[in-house]
Amino acid sequence: MFAQDLKALQDFLAKTIAKLEGVTVVSSNIIAKIVKEQPGIILRPGLGLRLTCNFCGREIKGKPETHKIGDREHSFCCKTCRASYKEKYQHRLRSLSKT
């Protein structure tokens, strides 16, 4: 599918650019190279973000353990902290879930 699109793009550019004044050489190899080298958007989770554990306050490195309370998402450094937090705020959680 991509190769077909690329071929179509090359054909289009070759036909269009060839008609332009002053353009004498159209290399499909160059076009292919440009298309290939378009930088993609690379998203890495947590990159540039500083998350701290909602229970122990330590900086979370790597993928955080999350727990949603109401409409807020809380992050924890490990499953233990998440479980401890849930236990500590169980009463609060119960009252929140009622509303």
- C-alpha 72/C-alpha 87 separation (Å) is 17
Residues 6+ positions from 23 with CB-CB distance below 8 Å: 17
Q: Which amino acid is at 5?
A: D
Choices 5-13, 25-33, 40-48, 69-77; region in contact with Zn ion by CB under 5 A:
69-77
Does residue 77 bind Zn ion (CB under 5 A)?
Answer: yes
Q: Using the 8-state DSSP alphabet, how is residue 34 labeled?
A: H
Choices 11-19, 22-30, 72-80, 85-93; region in contact with Zn ion by CB under 5 A:
72-80
Residues 7-66 that bind Zn ion (CB under 5 A): 53, 55-56
Site residues (vs Zn ion, CB under 5 A) = 53, 55-56, 77, 81
